[in-house]
Amino acid sequence: MPGRKRRIGYTAPIGSVDLAAFDEAGEPYEIRACNDCLPWHAEVHIDDRGDVFVCEWHAVDCEHFKELIERS
C-alpha cells in the first residue's frame, strides 16, 4: 500500500515461517538476526517424526518476512 508506514518495531504484529534446519547434505543452515525488524527471533523445534526445523518470527510488514513467505 503506497504511503502506508511499515510497522516493524517491537509492538508490531508478528508472524512466523517454518524453515529447514539442515540442507540436503545434513549441514546446518546459519541463522542471522533480521536487520529489518525489531521483533525478530527464532525458535528450534523437533516435530513428532524427529525432524528439526527453525521457526522464524518477524514483523508482518518486514520485507524479509514477505520474501520468506513467498518462497515457502
> When comparing pLDDT for 1 and 27, which is higher?
27
Structural element, H or E, at residue 64: helix 63-71
The pTM (predicted TM-score) of the whole model is 0.86
Q: pLDDT at residue 1 above 60?
A: no
Q: How far is CA 34 from the centre of its chain?
A: 8
Q: Which three cell numbers stand for residue 1?
A: 500500500
- pLDDT category, 5, cuts 50, 70, 90? confident
Q: What is the pLDDT of residues 8-61, one digit of tens each?
A: 999 999 999 999 999 999 999 999 999 999 999 999 999 999 999 999 999 999
- C-alpha 26/C-alpha 31 separation (Å) is 15
**The pLDDT of residue 72:** 81
